[in-house]
Structure 1
Amino acid sequence: MSDVTTTDLYEVTMAMSYVREGMRAPATFSLFVRELPPDRGFLVAAGLEPALDYLSGFRVGPEDVREFAKALHRPVRDVEPLLGLEFDGEVRAVPEGRLVFAGEPLLEVTAPLPQAQLVETYLLTQLCHQTVVASKAARCVLAAAGRSVIDFSLRRTHGPQAGFQAARLGALVGFAGTSNVAAAARLGIPASGTMAHSYIEAFPDEETAFRAFARAHPGPVTFLVDTYDTAAGVANAARVLNDLRRGAGCAIRLDSGDLGALARRARATLDAAGLQDVRIIASGGLDEYAVDTLVRAGAPIDVYAVGTRVGVAADAPYLDSAYKLVEYDGRPVMKLSSAKATAPAPKQVFRQPGRADVIGLWNEDLPDGAVPLLGTVMRGGRRTGPPDTLADARARMDADLACLPAAARRIHDPEPPQPVVSRRLAALTADVRHRIEAAALGSSAGHGGARPVSR
């Protein structure tokens, strides 16, 4: 069984029907976010690289067919028409790291209809979860205002894979390291960690614990100082560091209490002991809001370790996202449902400095001075270039943030930019709506339904 079966059952039932009906013409689906979560001025596009890995290896095998049949309570022969189905379509997408806004497609898939349908769920899980976590992590970097931020989220994320993704996304937006050893090794990013309160409690007293830890780690060490009394813990740490002639690269960590006040007292104690180069790390339920408060208050904290609230994007853990059919067999289509209407046809987003993004048709000419956000990243089921790098994604994010209005970068009550629709897309949308409504009225009249009243 492969990742092909990581899908909703209705994707399978629809794909089976399409195959049975001979509906294999090219279909385009658009994946986008309807509305930004509360208190978000932007989103950071993320999750594309693992999504492309999935599409590159997508093939319905015999075991997948058996699992589909079992889930449907149908004989295997009924599902066998899906056997051997591979993804050989085209993908256009916003590269990781770019900032995106409501209504703008993150990704569009054009492939034979059964293929494009079956990959929906997996693509949504990858892009939506990673975009929402990356966006919160980026806000932590903004709040830290140049101070280092480290990922401590692994133990509180929704499973090891989510923990890996959180570490990767932190690196993508500029975190200085992660506590996740596996992620650090796979991604080539710094691993960072200190000690737990249990370590201190295992020794007769705090100073003995610090000395034992320093003996085990001859390089720079970080002491957790708030297991018992924080002021005494800082004093013990300072004494041990001076006795062992440690300083440069070492740190103390505050994990609870009034972090701002404690950091000020700790800084005074360390400075008085001649340990001006010992850093202060803060952790314990931090996210961009807490970091912003501490930074604005002038807390002498050098490194912010963020965990639970960031790794699960606690205040906005999901996106109001959709993956909608916008064209089939050359025919533009759209959904007319109240409050969930969609726009037809494959699309492009045009970005111009100092102006609102324009959502237009894929084949529109570029407006003067505009750059397109979506590029073709897969053709014929294969990548069009090598995998992207975290450094490239970070550079794109930094460049977009530099051009983002200050009101959108605010931590509290941000004002997200609102994209506009091009004239060509607006006209096509009106035409398609008219065609659908006319067809519905004609069908209703043909079946004896009520005729529209002339006005």
Structure 2
Amino acid sequence: MYTNALLTDLYQLTMMQGLFFEGKHNQPCVFDRYYRTNPFKGGYTVVAGLEHLIDYVQNMHFSDDDIYYLKSTNLFKESFLDYLKDMHFTGDIYAMPEGTVAFPQEVLLRIHTTKDESLLLETAMSMIMNHESLIATKARRVRTVAGNDTLMEFGLRRAQGMSAGVYGARSAMIGGFNGTSNVLSGAKFGMPILGTMAHSWIMSFPSELEAFHAYIRQYPNNLILLADTYNTLKQGVPDAITVFQEMKDAGTLPKKFGIRLDSGDLAYLSKEAKKMFDAAGFPDVIISASNDLDEFLISELKLQGCAINSWGVGTHLITAEDSPSLGGVFKLVGQYDGDVFVPKIKMSDNAEKISNPGIKNVYRIYDRESKKMKADIIALEGEKFPTIKNLQLVSDKTPWRSRVIYANSFDVCPMLQPIFQKGKLVYHKPTLAAICDYADEQIQTLWPEYLRLVNPEEMWVQRSSKLSKLRNKILQEESAKFM
């Protein structure tokens, strides 16, 4: 049986073999994972995928079938394949917890291990965390405009594969959704599963009213009726009112009941339906909507005064339709020559692609009174920012801009937590419910201007002075080689 050890790009394995025969495969090194631009032209990214990554790392090994396949390619030598048979992760990983709000250039994950283990991890790790962070971020944008309305993830049938659908549903929960239609995700992750009925149910009976009656007989406590199969206002809503009244008279009407709209002018139909339900004595009715929704359409519908209080969001969420990838990268930031750590930098003609060298952490500055974020500092591991002194911030992009955060007005929080130490998991994996609560708390630390869908404010993120000096020193030394 093939394992996920083969879930990598060919060049990772060929580089591993090359380093093996060069005697560099076991060289200790440090890699950073970060991204360069927020997705959806937004003001932040929500970190997700860590639990999936942990599972991958814990089960990373090569099976006999893996080795046999690699041998059949005629690209790999016997001694290297023998070496792979016993390979497993032996290093350290530090990461921002799932649900953390992050920003471009920040270290989201840091790996201390050998060159070959780092290379083997890169592709799968990037795929997992790029995708799941992308969906969590999209979901949070939807939650931002939906307020306290119910949000249901409906994207499985439009997902780009099983893994995208299953883990995308989990990521949507981290982003603020209430549940999913995806039964497998519900089983794997303990998520609430939600759903109503399809138009085919309605069309399976001689009339819509009979279809409603049949559904109520089977599911009297899951009472959301699909009301747009034939004519929403002339038939669907009146038929729903009929069955709701019958149940009310019989004393069997549940606390939660309502309709779903899946087509037409959702603003107009929901407002007219609400008038009809109010007139019939059902002011607490749920009006749910689906049909290619995203954060922009939900925002527009709310501006138009729609009466919708429950949303099923599918295609545009699960595919991250308007920003289908998160450009996360994985860069070597240092390696050991004997006992000496040597910082490394990736240079480029594109300034934004020049990496930050050295072993780093992200230090988040919170306003002590409001508990809101003030700034993030990318700094060398172990740097201190005492709260009893004024904190001077100078913008990397515009060094003529600066600001002072006054002493005793702020708190400092290092954002990376140890996940693996010497190959052993040391991180206590929180429940999904705890992750969702933490994600909600994180988003509350952002000022409203960072949550705008269009042209959001940019969080103040800068390098520490020590990191900047190290970076400039290495850049000058490397540049001098070409003079």
TM-score range, shorter chain: over 0.9
Q: Superposed, which structure 2 residues align to 1:287-306 within 5 Å?
A: 287-306=294-313
Aligned to 2:286: 279
Which one of the candidate residues 367, 375, 384 is aligned to 1:356? 375
Aligned to 2:186: 184
Using the TM superposition, name which of 104-113 and 366-375 deviates more. Answer: 366-375
Aligned to 2:405: none
Output the CA distance in 1 between the equivalents of 2:187 and 2:333: 41
1:18-52 CA-partner distances (Å, limit 9, x unpaired): 11111112111111001112431110000011101
User: Identity, % of aligned pairs?
Assistant: 34
Aligned to 2:347: 336
Which one of the candidate residues 262, 274, 280 is aligned to 1:267? 274
1:240-295 CA-partner distances (Å, limit 9, x unpaired): 22123335211100111111111001111111111222211011101111111222
Aligned to 2:446: 404
Output the CA distance in 2 between the equivalents of 1:166 and 1:425: 36
Output the CA distance in 2 between the equivalents of 1:48 and 1:142: 23
Superposition deviation, residue 220 in structure 1: 3.4
Output the CA distance in 2 between the equivalents of 1:414 and 1:297: 23
Q: Superposed, which structure 2 residues align to 1:20-35 within 5 Å?
A: 20-23=21-24, 24-35=26-37
Output the CA distance in 2 between the equivalents of 1:113 and 1:74: 18
The secondary structure found in structure 2 opposite 1:351 is strand
- CA contact 1:101–1:418 (8 Å) conserved in 2: no
1:100-150 CA-partner distances (Å, limit 9, x unpaired): 000011111110111111110010011000000000001111110111111
Question: Which amino acid counterpart does residue 14 of structure 2 have in structure 1?
Answer: T
Output the CA distance in 2 between the equivalents of 1:381 and 1:59: 13
Using the TM superposition, name which of 184-193 and 220-229 deviates more. Answer: 184-193
Output the CA distance in 2 between the equivalents of 1:16 and 1:323: 20
- CA contact 2:176–2:440 (8 Å) conserved in 1: no
Judged with a 3 Å threshold, the aligned counterparts in structure 2 of structure 1 residues 278 and 431 are, in CA distance, closer, same or farther, namely same
Output the CA distance in 2 between the equivalents of 1:337 and 1:70: 38
Output the CA distance in 2 between the equivalents of 1:99 and 1:274: 44
Which one of the candidate residues 127, 130, 140 is aligned to 2:129? 127
Aligned to 2:477: 435
Aligned to 1:5: 6
Which one of the candidate residues 200, 203, 206 is aligned to 1:204? 206
Question: Which amino acid counterpart does residue 360 of structure 1 have in structure 2?
Answer: A
Output the CA distance in 2 between the equivalents of 1:327 and 1:53: 26
Using the TM superposition, name which of 387-396 and 249-258 deviates more. Answer: 387-396
Output the CA distance in 2 between the equivalents of 1:271 and 1:71: 70
Superposition deviation, residue 395 in structure 1: 2.7
Question: Which amino acid counterpart does residue 43 of structure 2 have in structure 1?
Answer: G
Question: Which amino acid counterpart does residue 241 of structure 1 have in structure 2?
Answer: F
Superposition deviation, residue 77 in structure 1: 4.6
Aligned to 1:447: none
Output the CA distance in 2 between the equivalents of 1:437 and 1:426: 16
Question: Which amino acid counterpart does residue 386 of structure 1 have in structure 2?
Answer: H
Output the CA distance in 1 between the equivalents of 2:125 and 2:232: 47
> Please, which runs of 5 or more residues in structure 1 have no aligned partner?
442-451
1:311 equivalent to 2:318? Answer: yes
Judged with a 3 Å threshold, the aligned counterparts in structure 2 of structure 1 residues 154 and 20 are, in CA distance, closer, same or farther, namely same
The secondary structure found in structure 1 opposite 2:61 is coil
Output the CA distance in 1 between the equivalents of 2:109 and 2:305: 41
Superposition deviation, residue 202 in structure 1: 1.8
1:70-127 CA-partner distances (Å, limit 9, x unpaired): 3454454553333311111000100000100000111111101111111100100110
- CA contact 1:348–1:361 (8 Å) conserved in 2: yes
Output the CA distance in 2 between the equivalents of 1:71 and 1:2: 17
Q: Superposed, which structure 2 residues align to 1:193-272 within 5 Å?
A: 193-231=195-233, 232-245=235-248, 246=253, 248-272=255-279
- CA contact 1:247–1:278 (8 Å) conserved in 2: no
- CA contact 1:226–1:233 (8 Å) conserved in 2: yes
The secondary structure found in structure 2 opposite 1:11 is helix
Which one of the candidate residues 160, 172, 175 is aligned to 1:173? 175
- CA contact 2:202–2:229 (8 Å) conserved in 1: yes
Output the CA distance in 1 between the equivalents of 2:434 and 2:239: 44
Output the CA distance in 1 between the equivalents of 2:15 and 2:206: 65
Output the CA distance in 1 between the equivalents of 2:76 and 2:28: 28
Question: Which amino acid counterpart does residue 310 of structure 1 have in structure 2?
Answer: L
Output the CA distance in 1 between the equivalents of 2:86 and 2:80: 14
- CA contact 2:364–2:413 (8 Å) conserved in 1: yes
Number of positions where the alignment pairs a residue of Structure 1 with one of Structure 2: 441
Using the TM superposition, name which of 255-264 and 67-76 deviates more. Answer: 67-76
Question: Which amino acid counterpart does residue 403 of structure 1 have in structure 2?
Answer: T
- CA contact 1:220–1:248 (8 Å) conserved in 2: no
Output the CA distance in 2 between the equivalents of 1:28 and 1:6: 22
Question: Which amino acid counterpart does residue 351 of structure 1 have in structure 2?
Answer: R
Question: Which amino acid counterpart does residue 345 of structure 1 have in structure 2?
Answer: G
Aligned to 1:141: 143
Using the TM superposition, name which of 267-276 and 122-131 deviates more. Answer: 267-276
Output the CA distance in 2 between the equivalents of 1:391 and 1:198: 34
Which one of the candidate residues 385, 394, 414 is aligned to 1:372? 414
The secondary structure found in structure 2 opposite 1:238 is helix
1:279-327 CA-partner distances (Å, limit 9, x unpaired): 1101110111111122233311111111110011111110122101111
Output the CA distance in 1 between the equivalents of 2:477 and 2:101: 35
Output the CA distance in 2 between the equivalents of 1:393 and 1:424: 33
Question: Which amino acid counterpart does residue 272 of structure 1 have in structure 2?
Answer: A
The secondary structure found in structure 1 opposite 2:205 is coil
Question: Which amino acid counterpart does residue 4 of structure 1 have in structure 2?
Answer: A
Question: Which amino acid counterpart does residue 378 of structure 2 have in structure 1?
Answer: I
Question: Which amino acid counterpart does residue 208 of structure 1 have in structure 2?
Answer: E
Provide runs of 4+ in structure 1 moved above 6 Å: none
Question: Which amino acid counterpart does residue 380 of structure 2 have in structure 1?
Answer: L
Aligned to 1:81: 83
Aligned to 2:423: 381
TM-score using structure 1 length: 0.93
Using the TM superposition, name which of 1-10 and 18-27 deviates more. Answer: 18-27
Question: Which amino acid counterpart does residue 256 of structure 1 have in structure 2?
Answer: S
1:356-377 CA-partner distances (Å, limit 9, x unpaired): 2111112322453211111111
Output the CA distance in 1 between the equivalents of 2:104 and 2:54: 23
Superposition deviation, residue 400 in structure 1: 2.2
Output the CA distance in 2 between the equivalents of 1:359 and 1:174: 28
